[in-house]
Amino acid sequence: MGIDIQLSLSHISNESIEKFVKTLDIGCVCQIPDVPGVTRTITGLVFMIMDLHLRLPHLCQQLVWFHGNANHFVFQFSDDGAPETSQLSMSIGSVTFWNLGERVRSREYQYLLHCVSLAEKHEALQSLWHQHTQEMLLLEPSVFTVSGKECTIEFQPSADMSWQSWACNEVNQAATYPSPYANVHKGNMCLMGGSIGQSDVDLWKPYTMTEREKHPGMVDTYLASLPKSLSSPTVHSKKLAFTADNGIRQLGKPRIGIFADWVKPDPLHCEINAWQHILDLLYSESLLRCCFEKFIETLSAPIGPSDQNSLIEESSENHATPKRAVDLIGEGVDSALESTGTDVINRSSAEEEIGVSCQNSSLSPDMLRHSTVLELSKDAASDNMTAMLETSRFASSNNLSNCVHGCGLAFLSTKVREHYADEAKRSNKLSVRLIGAQAIALARYSYRIVDSLQTANETEGEKLRQLALGKIVQYLRNAGGLFNNVYVNIPGEISQLNDFCTLYFNLLVLFFPHSVNETVWTVAYALPYHAKQLYEKYGVGYGMLSLQAKESKHAGLKGELSMTNRSRSTDKNGKWWQLMRSNYIRSFYLPEHHASFSALIELTF
């Protein structure tokens, strides 16, 4: 505009800046006694957050109120342990709130509660969370006036499934009753047609606080009845048998009190774990068919021309989900696969028909896999499961030109090949762990790996398993496109989510029963059950619980720690105090004093 504006800080001394930073009132931050770390109180942090968002109009206007319940805040608390360095561990407690809406998935709205140089399950954290829990119990039933408005508060635990076991004081997932979400055990985990609930018709019941308080006493009474002469290993063995026979998971009272009743599975880790399981299944199938080289080639090959990806939406929060309009399977579902009977293969079943065929469309087969909408044909019937799956199968990518299109996971394929090279462990589960981006790539393109499993001389059984795998990855992909949404945008979306999860589960039970594990059961039953509860109570999608913002926030803290000049110090002027101060400036000071320049928050740090 012809105006030269220059901002210079050269006349401000470093001493003045340091003095301002040290005298800045960042609220009450306390050194934890005898522990290298600092903490805020729940009360102090919650009121700072509420005051900021109610006092500033541009923030208040963006808040979401559930079912018209104005000024009711739903706070989510969490803890997360991570290696700070190769020698040090850290535990970061944080708070966010669901009234942010879509912004709940932004790392900038994860507010630090405590920072400790200890693992997340250290004994010292137990007393810290006892204090946090007592504060939350006092705050929930009360009405507070904040910035001239009467406010109520509700707390929900994080969906971090690793931390939940410790927070609820339960046994780990290797137990006979492996799930914290209902009393499923390894003997009935493969049953189709089950449900979670409190009614008599529900096969599995969620744990309640009454049971959580009762069960440890039952164990103590049993142990007291045993002869004193028994050895410690024998007592331990009998204790495990008793807990297994009585469906007991509790080791003691929950460390987060009554909030243990509200734990839910995390959509982010559910999706990653589910695709990890699918990758293991595809790898095992490639070994059985002696086509490992085709499997590894497809896994590592480039994705292909960009026009094949034009029907995929990119989420602003680094998560990709297929477009709902082109991915969802019609209104009905496959009644054969919904059946709870094991004779489903021999009975007539509904058959899915492809609404757009490869022959009548200019789209490539790869694009057809994304764009085809399947409709249920109520009149069509098949006496054969193979025919049903064959009919609903998408056009194979083998009909494309000679160029190979794969999943674009070259780095992952290197790790898989290393696992395969060890003949002693070749038949074991893959010794690799997926990250989010790899799980998303598999969700998009795993059908290409399924195609690569086809061999010239395959048996009818192998053909049937390959067709079933194609449908399994399709239903899991569609389910992921739904349970990662923060908002429910289509009527019946919760019902559709349940349908996809059910079909995914039933196919695995029918064709790969030995591969059904807790992850599969959680995706099939626990996740739809809690998604329905969340929608009915708050009117939001299950993606509200996603931990990707928290994971991103805590990863960023490592970078901030490396910039502190007291990274090894744990006294009052140590690294955690510096970290709390810098995060206060980012989370509270800058939003208040630079309200019109939201980009400044990102640029300043």
| 144 and 189 assigned to the same domain | no
Residue 497 in any domain: the answer is yes
| 76 and 102 assigned to the same domain | yes
Distance CA 167, CA 250 (A): 11
Residue 339 in any domain: the answer is no
* pLDDT of 566: 54
Domain end (from 197, 226, 261): 261
| 187 and 134 assigned to the same domain | no
Amino acid at the residue 551 = E
Distance CA 494, CA 158 (A): 21
Domain end (from 517, 538, 559): 538
Distance CA 502, CA 145 (A): 46
Distance CA 238, CA 232 (A): 10
| 526 and 565 assigned to the same domain | no
Burial class (CB in 10 A: 0-12, 13-18, 19+), 143: exposed
Phi/psi of residue 113, nearest 5 degrees: -100, -50
Residue 350 in any domain: the answer is no
Q: Rounded to 5 degrees, what angle do the CA atoms 305, 308, 311 make?
A: 145
Residue 363 in any domain: the answer is no
The domain of 151 spans 14-166+547-593
Burial class (CB in 10 A: 0-12, 13-18, 19+), 268: buried
* pLDDT of 339: 33
Spatial contact of 346 and 478, defined as CB atoms under 8 Å apart: no
- 143-146: strand order across its sheet: 30-31, 37-39, 111-116, 89-97, 72-83, 149-157, 143-146
Residue 399 in any domain: the answer is no
Beta strands in 199-340 (DSSP E): 312-314, 320-322
Long-range pairs, 216-221, Cβ under 8 A, ≥24: 216/250, 216/251, 216/252, 216/253, 218/246, 218/248, 219/243, 219/248, 219/250
* pLDDT of 486: 92
* pLDDT of 80: 86
Q: Are strands 72-83 and 89-97 parallel, antiparallel or unpaired?
A: antiparallel
| 304 and 453 assigned to the same domain | yes
Spatial contact of 484 and 267, defined as CB atoms under 8 Å apart: yes
Count of structural domains within the chain: 3
Predicted TM-score of the model (pTM): 0.79
Q: Could you tell me which of 359, 389, 364, 156 has the C-alpha nearest to residue 256?
A: 156
Largest CA distance in the chain: 93
| 155 and 211 assigned to the same domain | no
Distance CA 296, CA 449 (A): 9
Q: Rounded to 5 degrees, what angle do the CA atoms 44, 50, 56 make?
A: 130
| 219 and 250 assigned to the same domain | yes
* pLDDT of 4: 67
Q: Is 447 helix (H, G, I), strand (E, B) or coil?
A: helix
Spatial contact of 267 and 541, defined as CB atoms under 8 Å apart: no
Q: Are strands 72-83 and 149-157 parallel, antiparallel or unpaired?
A: parallel
| 114 and 43 assigned to the same domain | yes
Domain end (from 261, 280, 306): 261
Residue 376 in any domain: the answer is no
Question: pLDDT digit string (tens) for 285-321?
Answer: 999 999 999 999 999 999 876 434 433 333 333 333 3
Distance CA 329, CA 310 (A): 20
Distance CA 79, CA 159 (A): 10
Q: Are strands 349-354 and 149-157 parallel, antiparallel or unpaired?
A: unpaired
> For residue 391, how many other CB atoms are within 10 A of its CB?
15
Residue 599 in any domain: the answer is no
- 3-state DSSP percent of the chain in helix, strand and coil, to 5: 50, 10, 40
Distance CA 239, CA 204 (A): 23
> For residue 225, how many other CB atoms are within 10 A of its CB?
7
Q: Per DSSP, what are the bridge partners of residue 196?
A: 204
Q: Per DSSP, what are the bridge partners of residue 152?
A: 72, 143
Distance CA 71, CA 500 (A): 36
| 282 and 418 assigned to the same domain | yes
Torsion-angle region of 5 (φ positive above 0: left; ψ -120 to 50: alpha; else: beta): beta
* pLDDT of 5: 65
The first and second tokens of residue 403, run together, are 């160029």
Spatial contact of 155 and 77, defined as CB atoms under 8 Å apart: yes
| 190 and 94 assigned to the same domain | no
Distance CA 481, CA 253 (A): 37
The first and second tokens of residue 107, run together, are 């790392």
The first and second tokens of residue 416, run together, are 């898989």
Q: Rounded to 5 degrees, what angle do the CA atoms 166, 169, 173 make?
A: 70
| 281 and 148 assigned to the same domain | no
Distance CA 82, CA 433 (A): 16
- Please name the residue that has the structure tokens 């963006």: 62
| 70 and 86 assigned to the same domain | yes
Question: pLDDT digit string (tens) for 472-511?
Answer: 999 999 999 999 999 988 778 999 999 999 999 999 999 9
Residue 333 in any domain: the answer is no
Residues of the chain with pLDDT under 70: 1-14, 17-18, 173-174, 305-404, 563-573, 594-605
Going by the DSSP 8-state scheme, the letter that residue 594 receives in this structure is T
* pLDDT of 151: 97
Distance CA 44, CA 221 (A): 42
Distance CA 159, CA 78 (A): 8
For residue 73, CA distances in Å to 52, 140, 329, 362, 485 come to: 13, 10, 36, 51, 20
